[in-house]
A and B are shown apart, each in its own frame.
Chain A
Amino acid sequence: MAIHSAPFRELRLDGVRRDFGRLSALKGLSLTIRQGEFIALLGPSGCGKSTALNCLAGLLPITAGSIWLDERRIDVLRPEQRGFGMVFQSYALFPHMTVRRNAGFGLTMRGVPKAEAARRIDEALALVRLGEQAEKLPGQLSGGQQQRVAIARAIVIEPPLILMDEPLSNLDAKLRLEMRTDIRRIHDRLGATTIYVTHDQEEALSLADRIVVMREGDIRQVGTPAELYAQPAHLDVADFMGYRNRLAGRVVETAADRVTIDLGDGALLTGLRCEDLSGTGIIAVRPDDLSPAAAGEPGVDATVRAIEYRGRDFHGLATRPDGLELFFRSDTLLETGSQIRLAADPTRALVFAENRA
C-alpha cells in the first residue's frame, strides 16, 4: 500500500472558541489527539460538533484559542494550506468531473506528476472498491458510491488528518452498516488519524477508539466506547449512551457505592453512585437493565402499556399512576394492562445528582 498518512505526533486544540454573533457555538474546546486515533465527536444537533470540525478544517475562523499540529500553529492557516482531507455530509463531489478527476482533484492542485497521480488515484479507487466506475460522472452513481468517491478524494492527498462530517447520514440503514466497516478498514489500512462527527451513538461506539461527547458547545466526557458505555460521567452522556429511563427521587439509603432511591410511594430502585448526592438523585437505567422483579424484591410498580417482541426477548413500556414512563425488558410475554413490579440491575443502574445543566 503506497498511500499512507502523513506522520505527526499529536493534534492539539487549545481553548477553541467560536461565536456566531452573541451565540457561542463552541465554548473553549481543549482536546489532544494522537496520530492513528479514530475519534468520534458525538452529540445532538446544535451541540457544536460540526462547528468544531469546520474550525479544524479551516472553513470557519475561530474566535479564540489555537490549534496545533505538533509545534506548528495551524488555526491561522487557510483551509487549502492545512492539507486535511474532508468528507462532507452532502458528499460535495464536483458534478462536472468524472470519478477519476474528482478523486485526483487534490493531486492536480498539488501539481503531482501525472504518472504518480494516476497510480495513487487507482489505488485510492481500489481501496474504496470503485475501480470500475472511474469514468462515470457522480450523478450516475448511487449515494453509497458517491460517498466512497468522496472518501477516495480525501485520502488520496495523504492527509495527516481525515475529517468526516456525518458521512453516512444520507444513506439507508443497510448501506450505513457496510460503509461503517469500510471506513474503519480504510482508517486501519492507511494508519490514518480520523475525526468523525456523528449524532448516532451506535456509529460512534462501533467505529471510534475514543469518543468525545459534546453538549451545548462543551465537551461533557472523553473516553473509550467501553468507558462511556459503562460509566458515563454525566446524565447527558448517559442519555446519549442509551440510559433511556431517568427517574428522579429521594435518597433513602447509602451503602458503600450503592444508593437506593425512592421514586415516591415506596417505589425503590438501587444503583451505583456516580456523583455526590444531597438528599435527591436521578437514577439512569437502560431498558435492558430494568426487568420484572423476583417475588418479594423491592422495585417500582407500574402498569404494562405496550410490549413488543424482539426475537430473543420482549421490550415493554409501563406507566406509573403519575404518568411516569418506564422502558423495560422481559423474558416472557406480558399482557398489556397487567400490573408488574420492575427492578433495576443494581450493578448497572447509575445514580446522578440533580441535573446540573
Chain B
Amino acid sequence: MSASARAPGARVGPSKATQRPPLRLRLAARGIDGVTLLVLPALLLIGGLFVYPFAYGLVLSFTPKEGGALANYVRYFSDPFLYDTIWTTLRLAVPVTVLNLLLAIPIAFRVRLMRHQRLLTTILILPITLGTVLVAEGMLFYFGAQGWFNRAIMLLGLSPVPVKLTNNYIGVFLSLLITGFPFTFLLTLSYVTGIDPALEQAAATLGAGPRARFRHVFLPLLAPGLAITFCLSFVQAYSVFPSAVLVGEPSRVTRVISIAAYHAAFEEYDYSMASAIAIIMAVIQLLIVGAILACRQFFYRGPVAGTKG
C-alpha cells in the first residue's frame, strides 16, 4: 500500500511501474472522484429524515411502557380491535388500487391518441393538488344526505331515501379513488406512451386484432411499469388517514391502521405502542410491494422501443 500513501497525483516512475497506481486513480477507475461528494447532501437528508427516525422508532417500539421488549407487538396481535386494522386497511387499499389501475389502463390507451393531451393531464392533476381534505369536504356536500347527488336521485325517484355514500366504507373508497386516480393514471399514461406505436402497427399487419395486440404486445411490455404503478398507488392508499376520518366511519368500518397509530400516540400518549404500529404498517407495505416486485422478474424489462439505440 505504499503507492496509496503518497500524495495524490505523484508521478510513478517507470521503475515503479509494477507498483499499484495511486489511490486517486484506483478510485477514479471505480467511478469515484470529486463529483461523488455531491451525493453527500442527499445522503445527509436521507439519514436525517428517514434512516434516523426509522431506527429511532424501531428501537422505541421495542421499549414499551411496561413489559418485555415484545410487549407492544404481543398486545397488538392479541387485541382484535388493533390487529383488525390491518385487514380493514387492506380491504380499502387493495380494491381501490386495483380499480384505479383497471380504470387507468383503458383511459390511458384512449388518451395516448388524443391531441389535447396536455389539457386533460392538467385537469387530472387538479385533484392531487387539492388534497384529500378538500376532496373529502366536497364529497360531504355533494354526496351527503342533503347533497345534490341524493336530491337528484330522490327527485328522479330512483330511491325513496337518501343513499348513504359518506361516513362509511363507500365514502373512503370513493375518496381514495378520486385522489388516487390522477397519480395512477399519469404513471400509466407515461408507460403506455413510452411504447413505440410502430409495434402495434407491426402486430396489426401480422394479423393481430385489437385484443391480441393488447395481450401479446402491450401487456407484456407494460407489466413491469404497471407493477411499479400498483406499488406506489398501493402505498399511498394504505397510509390513508384524513379521508378515513372525514368521510369514513373511523370508529368501526374504516378504522384503518394509521388511525390506530394516531390513537396510540395522541390519545393514549403511548409513543412506544404508536411506533410499534408504524413498524407493523411498514412491514405489511414492504411485504406486498416486495411480492409485487418479485413478480416483475417474470416479465421482460428491457427497452420498449422496437429498435436498437
Q: Which A residues contact B (CB, under 8 angstroms)?
A: 57-59, 78-80, 82-86, 88, 90-96, 105-106, 108-110, 137-139, 141-143, 146, 150, 153-154, 157, 163, 170
- What is the distance, in angstroms, from A105's C-beta to the closest C-beta of chain B? 5
Given contacts A88-B306, A90-B198, A90-B307, contact A96 B207 (CB under 8 A): no
Answer yes or no: B47 CB below 8 A from chain A CBs.
no
> Could you tell me if B205 and A141 are in contact, using CB atoms closer than 8 angstroms?
no
- What is the distance, in angstroms, from A30's C-beta to the closest C-beta of chain B? 23
> Could you tell me if A95 and B207 are in contact, using CB atoms closer than 8 angstroms?
no
Answer yes or no: B33 CB below 8 A from chain A CBs.
no
Contact with B307, one of A58, A93, A154 (Cβ below 8 angstroms): A93
Among A91, A137, A170, the most chain B Cβ lie within 10 Å of the Cβ of A91
Distance between Cα atoms of A102 and B58 in the complex (Å): 51
Contact with B207, one of A94, A110, A137, A141 (Cβ below 8 angstroms): A110
B180-220 vs A, CB cutoff 8 Å, 1 = contact: the mask equals 00000000000000001011011111111100100011001
Residues of chain B in range 204-249 having any CB-CB distance to chain A below 8 Å:
204-209, 212, 216-217, 220-221
- In the complex, 12 of the A-B residue pairs with CB atoms within 8 angstroms, ordered by the A residue number, are A59-B204, A79-B201, A85-B205, A86-B205, A88-B201, A90-B305, A92-B202, A95-B304, A96-B299, A105-B203, A139-B308, A150-B202
| Chain B residue with Cβ nearest A163 | B205
> Could you tell me if B216 and A57 are in contact, using CB atoms closer than 8 angstroms?
no
> Could you tell me if B300 and A95 are in contact, using CB atoms closer than 8 angstroms?
yes
* B-chain residues with CB within 8 Å of residue A137 when the two chains form the complex: 300, 302
Answer yes or no: B147 CB below 8 A from chain A CBs.
no
> Could you tell me if A139 and B217 are in contact, using CB atoms closer than 8 angstroms?
no
Answer yes or no: B303 CB below 8 A from chain A CBs.
yes
> Could you tell me if B221 and A58 are in contact, using CB atoms closer than 8 angstroms?
no
* A-chain residues with CB within 8 Å of residue B299 when the two chains form the complex: 96
Interface of B is mostly: loop
> Could you tell me if B204 and A95 are in contact, using CB atoms closer than 8 angstroms?
no
Among B198, B204, B205, the most chain A Cβ lie within 10 Å of the Cβ of B205
Contact with A105, one of B209, B216, B304 (Cβ below 8 angstroms): B216
* A-chain residues with CB within 8 Å of residue B207 when the two chains form the complex: 80, 83, 106, 109-110, 157
* A-chain residues with CB within 8 Å of residue B305 when the two chains form the complex: 90, 95
Distance between Cα atoms of A252 and B163 in the complex (Å): 95
> Could you tell me if A80 and B208 are in contact, using CB atoms closer than 8 angstroms?
yes
B268-309 vs A, CB cutoff 8 Å, 1 = contact: the mask equals 000000000000000000000000000000011011111111
- What is the distance, in angstroms, from B151's C-beta to the closest C-beta of chain A? 45
> Could you tell me if B307 and A79 are in contact, using CB atoms closer than 8 angstroms?
no
* A-chain residues with CB within 8 Å of residue B209 when the two chains form the complex: 78, 80
Distance between Cα atoms of A139 and B307 in the complex (Å): 8
Give the number of residues in B that approach A within 8 Å (Cβ atoms): 27
> Could you tell me if A106 and B306 are in contact, using CB atoms closer than 8 angstroms?
no
> Could you tell me if A90 and B205 are in contact, using CB atoms closer than 8 angstroms?
no
> Could you tell me if B205 and A79 are in contact, using CB atoms closer than 8 angstroms?
yes
> Could you tell me if A109 and B208 are in contact, using CB atoms closer than 8 angstroms?
yes
Distance between Cα atoms of A132 and B125 in the complex (Å): 50
- What is the distance, in angstroms, from A96's C-beta to the closest C-beta of chain B? 3
| Chain B residue with Cβ nearest A59 | B201
* B-chain residues with CB within 8 Å of residue A93 when the two chains form the complex: 202, 306-307
> Could you tell me if A95 and B206 are in contact, using CB atoms closer than 8 angstroms?
no
* A-chain residues with CB within 8 Å of residue B220 when the two chains form the complex: 96
- With A96-B302, A141-B308 given, name 5 new contacts (CB 8 A): A59-B201, A92-B202, A96-B299, A109-B208, A137-B302
Distance between Cα atoms of A129 and B199 in the complex (Å): 23
* B-chain residues with CB within 8 Å of residue A92 when the two chains form the complex: 196, 198-199, 201-202, 306-307
Q: Which 4 interchain pairs have the tightest Cβ spacing?
A: A96-B300, A106-B206, A92-B306, A92-B198
> Could you tell me if B202 and A95 are in contact, using CB atoms closer than 8 angstroms?
no
Distance between Cα atoms of A59 and B213 in the complex (Å): 14
Among B207, B212, B220, the most chain A Cβ lie within 10 Å of the Cβ of B207
Distance between Cα atoms of A268 and B217 in the complex (Å): 64
> Could you tell me if A170 and B307 are in contact, using CB atoms closer than 8 angstroms?
yes
| Chain A residue with Cβ nearest B198 | A92
* A-chain residues with CB within 8 Å of residue B212 when the two chains form the complex: 109
Given contacts A59-B204, A106-B206, A110-B207, contact A143 B308 (CB under 8 A): yes
> Could you tell me if B302 and A90 are in contact, using CB atoms closer than 8 angstroms?
no
| Chain A residue with Cβ nearest B223 | A96
> Could you tell me if B206 and A153 are in contact, using CB atoms closer than 8 angstroms?
yes
| Chain A residue with Cβ nearest B195 | A95
* B-chain residues with CB within 8 Å of residue A143 when the two chains form the complex: 307-309
| Chain B residue with Cβ nearest A57 | B205
> Could you tell me if B205 and A59 are in contact, using CB atoms closer than 8 angstroms?
yes
* B-chain residues with CB within 8 Å of residue A139 when the two chains form the complex: 302-303, 308
Distance between Cα atoms of A105 and B306 in the complex (Å): 14
Contact with A79, one of B204, B221, B303, B304 (Cβ below 8 angstroms): B204
Distance between Cα atoms of A154 and B198 in the complex (Å): 14
- What is the distance, in angstroms, from A26's C-beta to the closest C-beta of chain B? 18
> Could you tell me if A96 and B221 are in contact, using CB atoms closer than 8 angstroms?
yes
- What is the distance, in angstroms, from B218's C-beta to the closest C-beta of chain A? 10
- What is the distance, in angstroms, from A50's C-beta to the closest C-beta of chain B? 12
Distance between Cα atoms of A80 and B212 in the complex (Å): 11
> Could you tell me if B201 and A91 are in contact, using CB atoms closer than 8 angstroms?
no
Contact with A157, one of B206, B221, B302 (Cβ below 8 angstroms): B206
> Could you tell me if A90 and B196 are in contact, using CB atoms closer than 8 angstroms?
yes
* B-chain residues with CB within 8 Å of residue A83 when the two chains form the complex: 207
- What is the distance, in angstroms, from A251's C-beta to the closest C-beta of chain B? 51
Distance between Cα atoms of A96 and B223 in the complex (Å): 11
Among A80, A137, A142, A157, the most chain B Cβ lie within 10 Å of the Cβ of A80
Among A79, A84, A150, the most chain B Cβ lie within 10 Å of the Cβ of A79
Distance between Cα atoms of A137 and B307 in the complex (Å): 11
* B-chain residues with CB within 8 Å of residue A146 when the two chains form the complex: 307-308
* A-chain residues with CB within 8 Å of residue B201 when the two chains form the complex: 57, 59, 79, 86, 88, 92
Distance between Cα atoms of A57 and B196 in the complex (Å): 18
- What is the distance, in angstroms, from B192's C-beta to the closest C-beta of chain A? 15
